[in-house]
Structure 1
Amino acid sequence: MRRGTRPARSALPFRQVRRTRTVERERWQPTTWTARWRRQGTLAGVSCATWGHGPFGRLPDRREWQGALARVWPTRASKSVEARGWVRETPTVRDHMEVSRGLWLRRWSAGDVPAVLTAFADPLMRGQATEPVTSVEAAERWVSSQSQRWRAGSAFAFAVVDGQDTVLGNVAVGAIDRRHGTGWVSYWVTRAARGNGVASRACRSLARWSFDDAGLVRLELGHRVNNPASCGVARAAGFAVEGLQRQKLEYDGVRFDVEMHARLATDADPDRITTV
């Protein structure tokens, strides 16, 4: 290779170099991570010898980089690293999809603030948010938090809407553990939408999305034992009962047992079960 020429990108090991633009020219220089790798011989506590032979070993591949970066900076990996285009911590996923005829799931947006405020005005919605949603500002914070968690890849919340884009409820998968492929499912519907199977249909679609798009393997959810409606939604969405957590929650000085449900990616899809 002649001096002053730039090597072909395809000829370079993955993430070995990065391109830095200057006013006069383009030049190539080792990344901070690569420099640290070769200087210290370790990354995230793993010896470079683990990935090859020789004095420095080979550079890790894409999956190995992703795991190492996640161990060093779990939250920063989805921001600075993804912003530089090194590693995509959060997979590309659909942000809207059709549940059934006239029923859709889509991401929450700023225009949903009035609908959120109306939904949380229902006394039965108490406890569905970390803070009371009793003002426009609180509703804006609630919607903003859903977007922040989506971008970070820690939770994915969908607004359940009808054909006229009227908000009927919410389904979400949060507490995502990428290492173990698990997530926690939650859901609620507005007063006008209850009793029509909206929650169960939306929850089934969310489960398929979590397995197919988010790459999760196990989904969990729980409900108070005095909430048979929520239990019916879980069962209709294919979540099997796994046990009881005694006196886990407290409301108004009264403690409640919580029934646990779970669904695996290998479990039968309720929408595809045929009876003979």
Structure 2
Amino acid sequence: MTRDLSTPPVIPSGLLADSPQPVLPAAQGLLLRPWEPGDAPAFLSAYQDDEIRRWHTRRPSSEAHVLEWFDEYRRDWATERGAHWAITRGDGEVLGRIATRGWNFDDGIAGVAYWVVPAARGAGVATCAVQALTVWAMEEVGFHRLYLDHSTRNHASCRVATKSGYLLEGTKRSAAVHDDGRHDMHLHARIRDV
């Protein structure tokens, strides 16, 4: 597809797709690594948690479904649409998920999403993962703006965003549907220092 832009893209096309998705170290001895087939049981189990179900309406129904998602995640990387990682400890224990998606290389913008399992909550795991992803996306890849949104009722996610340096920019009214109806969504963003 030919683009008729008056400015060059912030990130050149093909920058990431030609290389393997990286493993990213994070504080507290955490690793962000691409999902592996053996992670399917842990991934499916996470979606049985009431809090994860409360905030995520797209849910896998079986391990086979999870593996389809993992295939989709690999395609996202190969087509430069996004990247998805398991948040793990050194022993491989899956503590959560973090992703960046909706990549716009022309403007240098991407979204961020995350969840952590109950045992990892309140220990800074999500914050460490968001910070590590942010450093990679901005300093290594060159994204200029990263954003995330969450229900205004999800106070834990708001704390993670704020602690990770994502400023609250406003409220998107009635912007998402959850199991209990429509929710207003907070929009947070972080801008690369230039």
Matches within 5 A, 1:112-123: 112-123=39-50
Do the aligned partners of residues 94 and 140 (structure 1) sit closer, same or farther apart at CA in structure 2, a change above 3 Å counting? closer
Over aligned residue pairs, what C-alpha RMSD do you find?
Answer: 2.5
Give the drift of 1:177: 0.3
Give the drift of 1:160: 0.5
Q: How many aligned residue pairs are there?
A: 189
**Among 15, 19, 23, which residue is 1:96 paired with?**
23
8 Å contact from structure 2 (residues 31, 89) kept in 1:
yes
* More divergent stretch after superposition (90-99 vs 234-243): 90-99
8 Å contact from structure 2 (residues 17, 77) kept in 1:
no
Instruction: Tell me what 2:115 maps to.
Output: 188
Give the drift of 1:94: 5.6
Do the aligned partners of residues 161 and 138 (structure 1) sit closer, same or farther apart at CA in structure 2, a change above 3 Å counting? same
More strand, by proportion: 2
Instruction: Tell me what 1:209 maps to.
Output: 136
* Structure-1 separation of matches of 2:190 and 2:18: 21
8 Å contact from structure 1 (residues 106, 158) kept in 2:
yes
Deviation string 1:103-147 (CA, Å, 9 cap, x unpaired) is 1111111121111111111122225363x3121111111222111
* Structure-1 separation of matches of 2:127 and 2:28: 15
8 Å contact from structure 1 (residues 94, 213) kept in 2:
no
Do the aligned partners of residues 134 and 151 (structure 1) sit closer, same or farther apart at CA in structure 2, a change above 3 Å counting? same
Instruction: Tell me what 1:16 maps to.
Output: none
TM-score, normalising length: structure 1 = 0.62
Deviation string 1:14-56 (CA, Å, 9 cap, x unpaired) is xxxxxxxxxxxxxxxxxxxxxxxxxxxxx9487xxxxxxxxxx
**3-state secondary structure, aligned to 1:90:** coil
Amino acid corresponding to residue 29 of structure 2 in structure 1 = G
Amino acid corresponding to residue 155 of structure 1 in structure 2 = G
Instruction: Tell me what 1:223 maps to.
Output: 150
Instruction: Tell me what 1:149 maps to.
Output: 76
Q: Which has the higher contact order (CA 8 A, sep 6+)?
A: 2
**3-state secondary structure, aligned to 1:250:** strand
Do the aligned partners of residues 252 and 106 (structure 1) sit closer, same or farther apart at CA in structure 2, a change above 3 Å counting? closer
**Among 222, 239, 262, which residue is 2:189 paired with?**
262
Q: Unmatched 5+ residue regions in structure 1?
A: 1-42, 47-62, 71-86, 268-276
**Among 111, 132, 139, which residue is 2:38 paired with?**
111
8 Å contact from structure 1 (residues 172, 186) kept in 2:
yes
Do the aligned partners of residues 129 and 249 (structure 1) sit closer, same or farther apart at CA in structure 2, a change above 3 Å counting? closer
Q: Is 1:175 the equivalent of 2:105?
A: no
Deviation string 1:238-275 (CA, Å, 9 cap, x unpaired) is 000111111111224522111110001118xxxxxxxx
Q: Is 1:128 the equivalent of 2:56?
A: yes
Do the aligned partners of residues 134 and 89 (structure 1) sit closer, same or farther apart at CA in structure 2, a change above 3 Å counting? closer
Do the aligned partners of residues 45 and 233 (structure 1) sit closer, same or farther apart at CA in structure 2, a change above 3 Å counting? closer
Do the aligned partners of residues 162 and 252 (structure 1) sit closer, same or farther apart at CA in structure 2, a change above 3 Å counting? closer
